[in-house]
Amino acid sequence: MESIFSKHILKFLLISLIISSYTFSTSAVRSVRSAPPKTSTDFIRRSCRATTYPRLCYNSLSIHASKIQTSPQLLAGTALNVTLSSAKTTSTMLLNLSLSHGLKPREAAAMKDCVEELSESVDELRDSIGEMNKFNKGRNYNFKIMINDIQTWVSAALTDENTCSDGFLGHTMNGKLKAVVRSQIVNVAQLTSNALALINKYALIHG
């Protein structure tokens, strides 16, 4: 009971920390004020500069340039969708691995924790996408409250992914399995971090 309680407090503190460190990013403020971009790929490249993993950001989003155009809302929405899709694939992969034979009990336990954390992160990303889609429907919404919820859920998703990948840092796993699983989760976490930065940028422009 006590450990579950403190785990939740820790998660909440981490989320607050993540949100505050992203919200006051000065590079996001700077790029809002520069001249308008000419093409969609130009827009995506510039927007991705405000993220922590700009190359991954550009590579994962430029293939959707025709849909994104130069809309910060569509950019953030697409980033969330790309992240969800990657989180779902990774979640299935982990579930497959966790069911495979030949895992030591400690490996199976770490894998099971990770599957749970990733599934929470998938739910949180789904909730954010659902909320994001409401921006197009009707005028009866409070943007600040909704974008705040989205930021909180995406931060929570990132925390869950990091908790999962931290579980693989120890000596629990055999080397090869650990490397495969970690690289997948790290990729999801980097996509999530980028999506959060783009959401924060959108919030800043809109607000």
| Contact footprint for ligand NAG (CB under 6 A) | 67, 74, 77-78, 81, 89, 92-93, 96, 129, 133
Nearer to ligand NAG, 49 or 67 (CB): 67
Listed residue (113, 107, 115) closest to 176, CA to CA? 107
Radius of gyration of the chain (CA): 18
50 or 79: CB nearest ligand NAG? 79
Number of Cβ atoms within 10 Å of the Cβ of 14: 16
Q: How far is the CB of 158 from ligand NAG (least distance, A)?
A: 19
Shortest Å, Cβ 74 to ligand NAG: 5
The candidate with the shortest Cα–Cα distance to 76, out of 104, 96, 47, is 47
- What does the DSSP 8-state code read for residue 101? T
Chain residue whose CB lies nearest ligand NAG: 77
**Residue 59 in tokens:** 């590579």
Shorter beta-carbon distance to ligand NAG: residue 89 or 174 = 89
- In the complex, the smallest distance separating the C-beta of residue 75 from ligand NAG, rounded to whole angstroms, is 8
